Amino acid sequence: MVSQSAYLEALAGKEPRLSIEEGFYLLSTKTMPNATPPPPFVQVLKAEEKGTDVNIACGMLADAYERKAETFILVSGDSDLATPVKCVRALGFEVLVFNPQTRDCKALQSVASTYTRIWRTLPRVCQLPNPCPTMHGRAVRKPTHWQVCHPLPRRRPEPPLRGADAPQRTENGERRTERAGPKGQTFHGHRKQSAPAGRRAKQ
């Protein structure tokens, strides 16, 4: 938890107006069905996160009732927060949902004002400075295993146009391209074909 504590401290130092509400983990012994019986049941240690989604939901509703915000931004993919989002929107506020998970959340997508997936490349360009000063005057450094920088994926080149989308030459030497757009619209593009060096010299 040292890495998380360092991150929260750096985050609070970067933005003094930020309020951090922490949950907690509850470790308990549970009797659950065995995947490879016998025996039919086994005891396992189960860690459950408690308080996080409840704190977020209560905070959103309290701020909405007290009119402390104009727009709410929720970074989560938890379907349990769909009902609080729906209630906040019923009070006349916009709720922008950003999902950091790899799968879409249909429950949040159906109630949010706007719904956006956060791709893996975005957090790489939204990093805190290293070291990052805190409110207590000391500098917090990024943990070593967080400093590994993976290169961003290269954009794949567009495939050559084929068939109806392939460029066609006109009588005056231009290349003409037609593409079908939305609602039956057609886009036209022209590119003049340059003459070889020898021909340009004679001209």
* Residue range 165-177, pLDDT digits in tens: 455 555 555 555 4
In the chain, DSSP assigns E strands to: 24-33, 41-50, 71-75, 94-99, 114-117, 132-133, 139-140, 168-169, 174-180, 186-192
DSSP SS3 for 121: helix
What tokens were used for 46? 């189960």
What pLDDT does residue 155 have? Answer: 52
Task: Please check the confidence at residue 187 and state whether its pLDDT lies above 90.
Answer: no
Q: How far is CA 25 from CA 20, 28, 46, in A?
A: 16, 10, 10
pLDDT, one tens digit per residue, over 84-132 is: 999 999 999 999 999 998 889 999 999 999 999 988 777 777 788 888 8
More confident residue, 105 or 189: 105
Phi/psi region, residue 127 (left: phi>0; alpha: psi -120 to 50; beta: rest), is beta
C-alpha dihedral sign at 67, 70, 72, 73: negative
pTM of the full predicted structure? Answer: 0.60
Burial class (CB in 10 A: 0-12, 13-18, 19+), 6: middle
Q: CA 71, 76, 81 angle in degrees (round to 5)?
A: 75
In this structure, the dihedral spanned by the alpha carbons of residues 90, 91, 96 and 99, taken in order and rounded to 10 degrees, is -60
Map out the domains of the chain with their CATH numbers: 1-50+129-149 (no CATH), 51-118 (3.40.50.1010)
Are 189 and 177 spatial neighbours (Cβ–Cβ below 8 Å)? yes
d(CA 97, CA 119) in angstroms, rounded, equals 14
What pLDDT does residue 179 have? Answer: 46
pLDDT, one tens digit per residue, over 13-30 is: 877 788 887 788 888 999
Tell me the mean pLDDT in the region 151-174. Answer: 52
